[in-house]
Chains A and B, each alone.
Chain A
């Protein structure tokens, strides 16, 4: 039988696909922005529709998923057929880790060691188990570790603003500021000088994960990635499996080049669940001993040479169970500890936690939000920012409205239409105008007409409602002009709680640019009736009194 030769083309093909998938990922990030009056696009959600972990976690925690997410079962089917090719060929974060590993080895060369399976690679399965268990109990927080979510968030909150900063400020130096700004405006984002609060922590996590490649190639993919673990579980016995011919002399060239450390020992058993299908081994093999062949799941994988297989003794099995017990304990403890915050106990609302319009009630919101950052990307004013501690650790990096940075735009409903998991409901514009995300609150110790007896009214001017939710009241006030006390009429702003939706236009334009004299707090938000401080005092419509709405609990309060 002829040796399996010429498989280098497989590596070239894989790298081409990887590069294309990486470019597609970034391209879809760039495409996720407002295009004139064109409506929302399904492309925005791009890779999340291929992510079975997002599907599973959201389904477990939120008991409901948008129908399009079921598309991700295609990834599972692909994995059952071909193994973890998603990780090796498509996953953009995997590609970045592969590049980072090679780059680190280039900068700081090291002696290559054959990579063999280590029990530490089980860590990702334990992590997945813990994450799934806590999701089944309603905590969705594990989704922040989904690789696609992680990369999307990092791209949106750190990488793109970094590129934007470099283009904006660098082009000033080079005298190309207008072309650079035009490029940014037309291709990247319409938000000038976009930046995100607390992006340093997102960057730190990303850099730390990249740096781990120096210690073990594709550290994240081998040891941590919960999506990799999920796909690994689907790839225990894939149809496509690696086989070795007897010509193998256990030279370990395959081990030196293996990205997933899939072989248990030199020439030992090959673990399909750990193989990323990268084809490095077949390309590296000088004797042409390695190749991939189709096999039925019930057919055992042939081990090559005399190498040993995985220790499948009862002792090992039990120790694996003990590991699962540890993961379960960790997952449950983590869930309780994550939840043991004043916000989660409902004893306080964080006044700085103003959620985007259409966000579900906080508990349901957290059971769906992956903190992917798509809403922050799509927001045309940059008002959506990642939380740090405002929503507790459970809500880390979930979106909140920061009106000092941008107003929630009157005519925009993009975030709800972009959200891949339905954490933010897709509202119509009429629904949006009826949804309150908070209420403006005037700080009379700073507000110019109140504290300094001068006219201002910038907040009134900025209020987007034609009829205004902030109105001026002429009040006769006393002030001192330095010589004597005088009286004058000043127009003081007053907020109408019936009308104010908390969009924050007033905060954005407030004359005080450091700490505004008007703020938006979440108090009057529609999604939490229990904290609503105001009675609805709008005049009764003529005719029949309104019928009490009968909507079963848990149903989306914004739709229908």
Chain B
């Protein structure tokens, strides 16, 4: 052993180090497919059918679906780091009760808040730039009461504080955005699947319109404007609430005849894929959703995601 030189020692040590360094990679290669986190998860309720849209069981169902959908993506820790400030952005535009499906499901929002806090988020803020009077809308939507329990913070947006921000999009160069939202470490888009009189459907991409003021000009070219806004918002986690959906007379809604119970929650990192799923869930003839379909097509062509969500790493869960 006397001729085990320093050179040999260094060479062997380096080799051993290399091996050790590569080992877990080599071992992991075996079950790469299983460990690769899903891009999208669809949680469907397969337990006892709820009676109708007013069934109180829907609250518990919504919570379960949301938790399992996020868990299937690899858990909230995949998106939230310790100490993060998170904004959950539901659709809370209209003074409507949860069963009227005018706003995002309160339990979906509350479950997201709870999971963010569990994952170590410092603060979880919830808010939207409401169309109807905010104080009443936050309460009526059920979101303010629901978010209180896990410890989320409802934030009222102040018209004075929107700031002109350069987004340098294709159609939109600057937008009046709400700094408190875009400065968060993570914005979780939690949109409900709803009919919309102008765009046929309002889904995740359109949900981003709650972070801006002076929204009306978007109506002149929804597709390009929504893509510009989405590109700027850099979606990392989107949740599609289809516990109840509004099939017609949206976005205001208000008629119980238009509400359908779908007991589905989807979550994913590809906003276009989620919107495509949302449009499918609306269950309408292609002719009736031409505008929404064209927005999704435009977004796919702009490279924001894939409309064919089945081609993604997809997990479909049957929740009971």
Q: Give the interface of A toward B (CB within 8 A).
A: 34, 36-37, 168, 172, 177, 181, 185, 190-193, 380-381, 409-411, 448, 454-458, 460-468, 472, 491, 509-511, 513
Contact = CB atoms under 8 A, between A and B. Distances in A.
Given A34-B136, A177-B161, A181-B158, 16 more contacts: A172-B160, A185-B156, A190-B133, A191-B133, A192-B158, A192-B159, A380-B133, A380-B135, A454-B220, A456-B219, A457-B197, A457-B219, A466-B254, A467-B249, A468-B197, A468-B249
A191 B253 CA distance: 24
B12 interface: no
Interface in B191-226: 196-198, 214, 216-217, 219-221
Contacts of A455: 198, 219-221
Contact of B133 (A193, A409, A454): A409
B134 interface: yes
Given A36-B139, A467-B249, A468-B197, A456 B216 contact: yes
Nearest to B220: A454
B95 A411 contact: yes
B251 interface: yes
A509 B159 CA distance: 14
A229 B81 CA distance: 72
Given A381-B133, A461-B197, A466-B249, A193 B159 contact: yes
A457 B258 CA distance: 21
B136 A460 contact: no
A181 B127 CA distance: 15
A464 B252 contact: yes
Nearest to A36: B139
5 contacts: A192-B158, A462-B252, A464-B252, A465-B252, A468-B249
A191 B133 CA distance: 8
Nearest to B219: A456
B245 to A, nearest CB: 15
B255 A466 contact: yes
A185 B197 contact: no
The list of the 9 closest CB pairs from A to B, nearest first, reads A511-B216, A190-B135, A466-B249, A466-B254, A458-B216, A466-B255, A457-B198, A454-B220, A456-B219
B136 A456 contact: no
Contacts of A461: 196-198, 219, 251-252
Contacts of B135: 34, 185, 190, 380
A514 to B, nearest CB: 13
A463 B249 CA distance: 11
B136 to A, nearest CB: 7
A463 B252 contact: yes
B159 to A, nearest CB: 6
B132 interface: yes
A458 B249 CA distance: 14
B131 interface: yes
Contact of A460 (B134, B159, B161, B197): B197
A191 B135 CA distance: 9
A192 B95 CA distance: 17
Given A36-B139, A467-B249, A468-B197, A509 B217 contact: no
Given A448-B220, A511-B216, A472 B197 contact: yes
Given A409-B133, A466-B252, A460 B216 contact: no
A509 B130 CA distance: 12
Interface in B135-167: 135-136, 139-140, 156, 158-161
A509 B220 contact: no
Contacts of A185: 135, 156
A181 B156 contact: yes
A462 B131 contact: yes
Contacts of B159: 192-193
Majority SS of interface residues in chain A? Answer: loop
A190 B198 CA distance: 29
Interface in B247-267: 249, 251-255, 258
B100 to A, nearest CB: 9
Contacts of B258: 466
Given A463-B252, A464-B252, A190 B136 contact: yes
Contacts of B216: 456, 458, 509-511
Contacts of B133: 190-191, 380-381, 409
B83 to A, nearest CB: 21
Find the residue from B131, B221, B249, B252 having the highest chain A CB count within 10 A.
B252
A457 B220 CA distance: 9
B249 A190 contact: no
Given A192-B159, A460-B197, A460-B198, A410 B219 contact: no
B131 A380 contact: no
Contacts of B161: 177
B208 to A, nearest CB: 16
B136 A380 contact: yes
Find the residue from B135, B196, B221, B253 having the highest chain A CB count within 10 A.
B135
Nearest to A407: B132
Contacts of A457: 197-198, 219
A365 B234 CA distance: 56
A409 B96 CA distance: 13
Contacts of B95: 409-411
Given A34-B136, A467-B249, A193 B160 contact: yes
A462 B94 CA distance: 10
B134 A458 contact: no
A456 B156 CA distance: 27
Contacts of A509: 131, 216
A190 B134 contact: yes
A15 to B, nearest CB: 37
Contacts of B160: 168, 172, 193
A177 B131 CA distance: 22
A509 B156 CA distance: 19
Contacts of A181: 156, 158
A465 B133 CA distance: 16
Contacts of A190: 133-136
Contacts of B217: 511
Nearest to A467: B249
A381 B198 CA distance: 25
Contacts of A463: 252
A468 B135 CA distance: 24
Nearest to B133: A380
A168 B198 CA distance: 35
B247 to A, nearest CB: 12
Contacts of A168: 160
A177 B135 CA distance: 17
A462 B139 CA distance: 20
Contacts of A34: 135-136
Nearest to B93: A461
A347 to B, nearest CB: 38
Contacts of A381: 133
A194 to B, nearest CB: 12
Interface string B104-143: 0000000000000000000000000001111110011000
Contacts of A466: 249, 252-255, 258
A448 B217 CA distance: 10
A456 B197 CA distance: 11
Contacts of B249: 466-468
Contacts of B140: 37
Nearest to B159: A192
Nearest to A380: B133
B119 to A, nearest CB: 25
B85 to A, nearest CB: 15
Nearest to B217: A511
A489 to B, nearest CB: 11
Contacts of A177: 158, 161
B216 to A, nearest CB: 4
A458 B131 contact: no
